[in-house]
Amino acid sequence: MKVDIVTLFPEFFESAFSFGPIKKCIDNGTLKLEIHNLRDFADSPKEVDDYQYGGGSGMVLKIEPLVRALNKLKDKNSISVLFEASGKTLTQAMVNEFSRKEHFILFCGRYKGVDERFKNYIDMEISIGDYVLSGGEPACFVFVDSISRLLPDALGHFDSAEGDSFFSGILGYPVYTRPREFEGYCVPEILISGNHAEIERFRKKEALKKTLLKRPELLNKIKLNKEELSLLHELKKEVKNDLSESEGD
C-alpha cells in the first residue's frame, strides 16, 4: 500500500511513524509512506492560507496548493481523503475495507478549515469522532495506524487483530496475564484449564457480555451466527436474573 500525506506540519509524523506496526510495515515494504509539505505546492511558503470571505476569525487553507498537491500525487488507483468534522465517522468495517486498497492521498486540514470548493476534488471526507482537534494530523495518524495493523506481517499473528475490539463488530474479550491472583482478584479458572474449546467459548461469551453491557447498540449492526445468538440469549437471561436479585436485595 502507498500512502501520501499532505500537511502543513510534516514534523508531527516524525516520531509517530517511527515505531509499532507502521514502522514494521514500512521496513518490510508493505507500506510506502511519504509526507508532503503543503507549502511546497504554494506560490510561496506563506501563501497556503488566507482570511475567509464574509469576515470572521480564523484562516482558511487556499484551494490552489491543495489541488496542485492532489494533481501531482494522484493516479488511477488513488483514493483522496480529507479529514473533516463533517465527514463519515471512521469504523472498523471501513478500516477492514481500506486495508485492501492500493493508494491513499490524505489531506490534513488546519485553522478554520479548507476552502469548501476543494471538497469537489476529493473522494471522501472522514471524521474520527464528534470532538474538535487542532488539525487533521491526529486523525490522519489514527487512520494510518488502524489500517497498517491489518497489512501483511504487521502483527506477530493475524489473530491479534481478529481479537481486537470492533474487528468483528463487537468489543474484544477481556485478557489476563501473570500473576494469577492480585489483591483478591483472580484470573478465571477456565483460562488456565487447557481446554481450548471451552476457552474459545468463554472468550466469545465474555466479548458479547462486554458489548451487551457497555455498547449494546453495536449488536444491532452485526449478524451473529447460531452459536453467538445462543450465547447472547444465555447472557440476557443471566443479566435479567442479576437485576432481579439486586432489586430483591
Separation in Å, CA 215 to CA 171, 209, 220: 8, 10, 10
217: helix, strand or coil: helix
Shared domain check, 127 and 14 = yes
Q: Return the bridge partners of 3, or none.
A: 33, 104
Dig out the grid coordinates for 32 from the structure: 510506502
Shared domain check, 185 and 102 = no
DSSP states along 40-53: GGSSSTT-SEEEPT
Residue 21's pLDDT is what?
A: 93
Dig out the grid coordinates for 231 from the structure: 450465547
**Structural domain boundaries enclosing 68:** 2-148
Counting the structural domains of the chain, the total is 2
User: pTM of the predicted model, to two decimals?
Assistant: 0.84
Nearest CA to 209 among 240, 231, 191? Answer: 231
pLDDT tens-digit profile of 238-247? Answer: 988 876 776 6
- Does any domain span residue 85? yes
Q: Mind listing the pLDDT tens digit of every residue in the chain (249 residues)? A: 999 999 999 999 999 999 999 999 999 999 999 999 999 999 998 999 999 999 999 999 999 999 999 999 999 999 999 999 889 999 999 999 999 999 999 999 999 999 999 999 999 999 999 998 999 999 999 999 999 999 988 875 545 555 455 557 888 899 999 999 999 999 999 999 999 999 999 999 999 999 999 999 989 988 999 999 999 999 999 988 876 776 666
Q: For the domain that residue 200 is a member of, what is the CATH number? A: 1.10.1270.20
Shared domain check, 242 and 189 = yes
